[in-house]
Amino acid sequence: MNNRKKSKLSAKEILIRNRERKRLQKNETSRKSYGKLYKNKESETKTYSQTINARKKREQREKSKKINERKLKNKMNVRKHRGKKNVELSSMSLVVPEGSNVFKNRMEKARALRKFKEGLPKSPSKRCAVISTYLARRSPRSPTIANLKHSVSPVEMAVVADIQEIIKSTKLKRSKNARSVMNSVTASISGENLANSRGKIKLCKNLGLPARRVAGGQRIRSRILKSESSAWALTQQKTRKDSISEETKKTVYNFWLSDGISHPTGNKSDIKRERLGPNLYTSHMTHVLEKTQTDAYLDFVAKYPEIKIGQRAFEKLRPFFVRPASEKDRNTCCCRYHVEANLVFKACMKFRKSCDRETDSQESDYPVFEKMSDLIHITLCPKVNGFYRKNCLDRKCSLCGVGNFKLSPNESQSSSTVEWQKYEYNFYN
């Protein structure tokens, strides 16, 4: 009889033991399979240069090398710019008075400069105020300092401020006078000294001007100084010998606004504006032409034969608020009375042309009218303040009337016949 005691395990412990045994068997199987597939993996040996750390360090060294090269290049550019600047300053002709070397050596000058700095206030604004006040009072040595051209006097600062003000108020305007002023200012401040010192960009920043405008002033200055008549008035637009005078322009202007050429629309909202500059406009009531521009030009030539002017120049001098008539401005009556009156007028003028007029006096006494308004004008008294009088329109005036319209002998013959057209109304039930 076997007296050995068997260990009794619970069901849970048995389950855990079996799971652990299966896990160990699975791991063993995976290790064996890994060894079969990669049996030569462990035998391979890598050098340090092929590792990941070595590769990262190489990339980092290359990156730092590029950064150092870029810094060195920037440093060389700065040195090059400073060298040019020092050459420019040394090339400037400074007026140094005699006896300016008052110090025995540079160390003595440095000690004096250190004492001077220690005596000045610590604040930069106060330090500048003290130095400017000292120079403004014209001390015995201040003329010597001014001759060195290392300081800016209050007079020079005031001149620069005045130039800034006139440029600020004029540079955005588009009128001819404003452009002439800007041309004069830019031409006066941009000369050979500015070109030699290469300070055009700094000047533009101080005055608030683009570099192209200062360059244009340099061209104007060189063109004027090299011309035969060196005068600043040439900055304005050159006028031709046959240019239109101001008197002629005023006459043409008044003619465009005269009666029979144009008239106001009568509508308060018809206002024409023209831009003179930023937020600057001029306005005037709109006028509408009563005839074409060609007819207006012919009337002007007939009225002022002594003035020689072309049609295109005449049209360019038309005020900006005078415009041709549009459809909305044509208030034409199409009733039977007005239409038939025009038909009769055309037929009568056609008959007058067909009549034989033997002498030139008959042609002047019995003219052929082109418009009905010309015929009406003969039968009425002249306009007063741009309008006909009411008595003349009502045919109650003794000075005018239909009798002013004269008929030629050929037109007065009873044997003559005239054909014209008229409307005939028919009513249908």
H or E segment and range at residue 76: helix 52-91
DSSP state of 422: -
Tokens 């329109």 belong to 393
Question: Token pair of 387, please?
Answer: 């309008």
**pLDDT tens for each residue of 84-141:** 776 655 544 444 444 456 788 888 888 988 888 888 888 888 888 888 777 666 555 5
Q: Are strands 287-289 and 262-264 parallel, antiparallel or unpaired?
A: antiparallel
289, 324 Cβ separation under 8 angstroms: yes
Q: Which residues of the chain have pLDDT under 50?
A: 1, 91-99, 228-236
Q: What is the pLDDT of residue 255?
A: 93
Tokens 């043409």 belong to 252
Q: What is the pLDDT of residue 65?
A: 92
Q: In what order do the strands lie in the sheet with 322-323?
A: 262-264, 287-289, 322-323
Q: Give the Cα-Cα-Cα angle 335, 341, 345 (nearest 5 degrees).
A: 150
Q: What is the pLDDT of residue 158?
A: 80
408 alpha-carbon distance from chain centroid: 64
What is the chain's Cα-based Rg?
A: 51
Ranges of H-type helices in 92-175: 106-119, 124-136, 142-147, 154-170
Q: What is the dihedral of CA 415, 365, 372, 356, to 10 degrees?
A: 40
160, 201 Cβ separation under 8 angstroms: no
Tokens 């604040």 belong to 123
Using a 10 angstrom Cβ sphere, with 0-12 exposed, 13-18 middle and 19 or more buried, the burial of residue 357 is middle
Question: Token pair of 255, please?
Answer: 């003619």
Measured on CA atoms in the order 387, 391, 394, 397, is the torsion positive or negative?
A: negative
Q: What is the pTM of this model?
A: 0.33
H or E segment and range at residue 73: helix 52-91
Task: Show me where the domains of the chain are located.
Answer: 116-151, 155-235, 246-329, 336-412
Q: Which residues contact 163 (CB under 8 A, 6 or more apart)?
A: 185, 189, 207
